[in-house]
A and B are shown apart, each in its own frame.
Chain A
Amino acid sequence: MSKFRILVGIVLFPALIGLLSSYTIPNGQGKLNITIAHYAGTTLLNLDDSEYKNELGQTFTVSRFRYYMSNITLKTEDGRELISPTSFLVDEAEPDSKKIELTDIPALKYVSISFIIGVDSLHNVSGAQGDNLDPAKGMFWTWSTGYIFLKLEGHARASTSPGHIFEYHIGGYAAPNNCIRKVTLKLANGGLNVSNRGANNIRLKADILEILKTPFTVDFSKLSSVTDLHNATTIADNYADMFTVAK
């Protein structure tokens, strides 16, 4: 399980002392469960069998949806941040991957959660890695080093690719092709009081329709494949807003 560590950032030294001591007060620590539900608009995503429509009314099915969620950060009311430097691989086909458990969370009130969709640049240049970042997970480019941050694949009648498939494999950690997108979301009901007893839950929704629109409306007949840096940032700009906090 990922250990939380204190992000000192720009906090000055005296403030740091205060920060550290506040984390050791006897409120203790709790567990946090982040559950993610994948949607296509207002309905839960169902791989292969269900048909959806994009902004242009083109019908499609989804066969694969997986992405990296990294560096989950929680912010307290007074602006202190806790960061987990771990990368999670969330996969619609792996129900367990949609439940992320974080331990050792100081019992405080948190008002927002942020994370990146993708893998930070440091972990893209650090050689052979294990666990979720094992290249054998199939989310790694071998001809141009770097992680594939997000894969969305499926079939669309309108696609001109063989078998009417569409595939968006989005990655790239360096400018001008940087596809890392930071997501910051306010927590529901004004915030979450993490306690050292019972369940502390944050429920997130990710809507795959958002990957196909705003700012760029994807037309399957014109853009059915993005598997290198061409058009990658366009799709990244689209997925930047796919998450919301469930009420």
Chain B
Amino acid sequence: MKWVYFTVFACCLYLGLNSFTENNPYFIITAKDVQLQIPPGFPKPVYEFKDNQVTPEGFVLGRKLFYDPILSRDSSVSCAFCHQRIAAFAHIDHTLSHGINGLIGNRNVPPLQNLIWQQNFMWDGGINHLEVQPLAPLSNDKEMGETLQTVLAKLQKNKEYVSAFNDAFKDTVITSQRMLRALAQFTGLMISSNSRYDKYVKGDEEFNEHELSGLKLFKNHCENCHKMPLFTDNTFRNIGLKPDTALRDSGRIRITGVEDDYMKFKVPSLRNVAMTYPYMHDGRFRTLQQVLRYYANGNFFGNYDKSIERNIGLTDAEQADIIAFLKTLTDQQFLHDRRFADPNFR
């Protein structure tokens, strides 16, 4: 008798899963879901979805592309492969990006959040616009290793995509512009602004004494670069990290050719920083403790930004308090936002 129950259960499960994403309200995207809301206190966004008004269909297409390994040469790696939702779309516990054929890239995967407030992208700021950003990992030999022409041909051959593009853009022709704009609709709405810190600012949450002390210390020691409310000033700085002899990454100079940009990297946002370990452009620090210790020790290398010297001598207790504060930047609502969940459950 047991096996009868089991078979019935298995059949139900199978039928259920088949229509899981289509009928499950968890995955349904409504017009309300794609409304852009600028969090109070945030500046005017850099990317304003001009010529690319977000629609539920465009967003759903962007989500489908984001979670689909079809974008990589051997269909093994999707955007989400390295950009995990639970890590604010960084790659938990991976020092460097991973790609097709088990290849390892050159840099630590940055989180994807509050992208519409960024003037440029990547650790070296090489990408100047949200819409063209996906072309970098897509064509990078050590990441997706694919060409834009081939991706477009693969998508055009796929009935599901032809129909999804038609839903989003009222046309069955799949162009790079449409693909990139759909991705921008999806990633552009990844906004993190509901951390405990944000609630504290609104008066909806209280901090304990360590968090309060950490906030004060943060303002004196860190906010010069990690400016609130985005927790970055979007500049590039040399924080005295010794260049890795294997990676030989020279930072922003590769983009600008300007001598002064040697070993400068983008100041990363610290929102959700407790979830985006490891740290630095090459993932050299595994924990926040290591990061704070680095600043406090003051063994800076090369022509570093002198403003970081204010951190030399931070005591263990002060470092711990700053970390307690940094943990309040974790935004559970963002990390569990159903709109950004993987729709490919089947």
> Interface residues, chain A, CB within 8 Å of chain B?
124-130, 134-136, 138, 140, 142-146, 176-177, 228-230
**Complex interface: chain A residues within 8 A of B130 (CB):** 127
For B177, give its contact among A130, A145, A228 (CB under 8 Å): A130
**Complex interface: chain B residues within 8 A of A134 (CB):** 175-177
A127 to B129 CA separation, bound complex (whole angstroms): 5
Q: Is the CB of B129 within 8 A of A126?
A: yes
Indicate whether B166 reaches chain A with its CB closer than 8 angstroms.
no
A-B contact pairs, 29 of them (CB 8 A): A124-B128, A125-B128, A125-B129, A126-B129, A127-B130, A128-B131, A128-B132, A128-B176, A128-B181, A130-B175, A135-B135, A135-B176, A136-B148, A136-B176, A138-B149, A140-B132, A140-B135, A142-B132, A142-B136, A142-B138, A142-B139, A143-B127, A144-B126, A144-B254, A145-B126, A145-B127, A145-B128, A145-B129, A229-B257
Per-residue CB contact flags for chain B residues 112-137 toward chain A (1 = under 8 Å, else 0) read 00000000000000111111100110
The chain A residue sitting closest to B181, CB to CB, is A128
Q: Is the CB of B129 within 8 A of A144?
A: no
**Complex interface: chain B residues within 8 A of A144 (CB):** 126-127, 254-255
A162 to B180 CA separation, bound complex (whole angstroms): 35
Q: Which 7 residue pairs spanning A and B have beta carbons closest together?
A: A127-B131, A128-B180, A128-B131, A142-B135, A127-B129, A144-B126, A145-B128
The chain B residue sitting closest to A233, CB to CB, is B257
Of the listed residues B126, B130, B138, the one surrounded by the most CB atoms of chain A closer than 10 A to its CB is B126
**Complex interface: chain B residues within 8 A of A229 (CB):** 256-257
Tally of contacts, chain A with chain B, CB under 8 A:
66
A125 to B257 CA separation, bound complex (whole angstroms): 18
A130 to B132 CA separation, bound complex (whole angstroms): 12
Q: Is the CB of B126 within 8 A of A128?
A: no
Q: Is the CB of B149 within 8 A of A143?
A: no
Near A by CB (< 8 A), chain B positions 127-161 give 127-132, 135-136, 138-140, 148-149, 152
Taking A127-B131, A127-B132 as given, write out 14 further A-B residue pairs in contact, using a Cβ cutoff of 8 Å, ordered by the A residue number. Answer: A125-B128, A128-B131, A128-B181, A130-B176, A130-B177, A134-B176, A136-B149, A136-B176, A142-B132, A143-B139, A144-B127, A144-B254, A145-B132, A177-B256
Per-residue CB contact flags for chain B residues 234-256 toward chain A (1 = under 8 Å, else 0) read 00000000000000000000111
The chain A residue sitting closest to B138, CB to CB, is A142
For A135, give its contact among B140, B148, B181 (CB under 8 Å): B148
**Complex interface: chain B residues within 8 A of A135 (CB):** 132, 135, 148, 176
**Complex interface: chain B residues within 8 A of A228 (CB):** 254
> Interface residues, chain B, CB within 8 Å of chain A?
126-132, 135-136, 138-140, 148-149, 152, 175-177, 180-181, 184, 254-258
CB distance from A60 to the nearest CB of B (A): 27
Q: Is the CB of A143 within 8 A of B136?
A: yes
The secondary structure that dominates the A interface is: loop
Known: A127-B131, A136-B148. A143 touches B140 (CB 8 A): yes
Known: A126-B129, A128-B176, A135-B148. A176 touches B258 (CB 8 A): yes
CB distance from B175 to the nearest CB of A (A): 6
CB distance from A171 to the nearest CB of B (A): 12
**Complex interface: chain B residues within 8 A of A126 (CB):** 129
Q: Is the CB of B175 within 8 A of A176?
A: no
Known: A126-B129, A129-B177, A134-B176. A176 touches B257 (CB 8 A): yes
A146 to B184 CA separation, bound complex (whole angstroms): 18
**Complex interface: chain B residues within 8 A of A142 (CB):** 132, 135-136, 138-140
A124 to B177 CA separation, bound complex (whole angstroms): 14
CB distance from B126 to the nearest CB of A (A): 4
**Complex interface: chain A residues within 8 A of B139 (CB):** 142-143
A144 to B131 CA separation, bound complex (whole angstroms): 13
The chain A residue sitting closest to B253, CB to CB, is A229
**Complex interface: chain B residues within 8 A of A124 (CB):** 128
For B126, give its contact among A130, A138, A140, A143 (CB under 8 Å): A143
**Complex interface: chain B residues within 8 A of A128 (CB):** 129, 131-132, 176-177, 180-181, 184
A229 to B254 CA separation, bound complex (whole angstroms): 8
CB distance from A120 to the nearest CB of B (A): 14
A144 to B251 CA separation, bound complex (whole angstroms): 12
The chain A residue sitting closest to B153, CB to CB, is A136
For A177, give its contact among B175, B181, B257 (CB under 8 Å): B257
**Complex interface: chain A residues within 8 A of B255 (CB):** 144
**Complex interface: chain B residues within 8 A of A146 (CB):** 128
A128 to B52 CA separation, bound complex (whole angstroms): 10
A76 to B257 CA separation, bound complex (whole angstroms): 40
**Complex interface: chain A residues within 8 A of B128 (CB):** 124-125, 145-146
A143 to B181 CA separation, bound complex (whole angstroms): 18
Q: Is the CB of A230 within 8 A of B131?
A: no
A146 to B255 CA separation, bound complex (whole angstroms): 11
A145 to B131 CA separation, bound complex (whole angstroms): 11
For A136, give its contact among B152, B254, B258 (CB under 8 Å): B152
The chain B residue sitting closest to A173, CB to CB, is B128
The chain A residue sitting closest to B183, CB to CB, is A128
For A230, give its contact among B135, B140, B257 (CB under 8 Å): B257
A143 to B254 CA separation, bound complex (whole angstroms): 10
A171 to B215 CA separation, bound complex (whole angstroms): 45
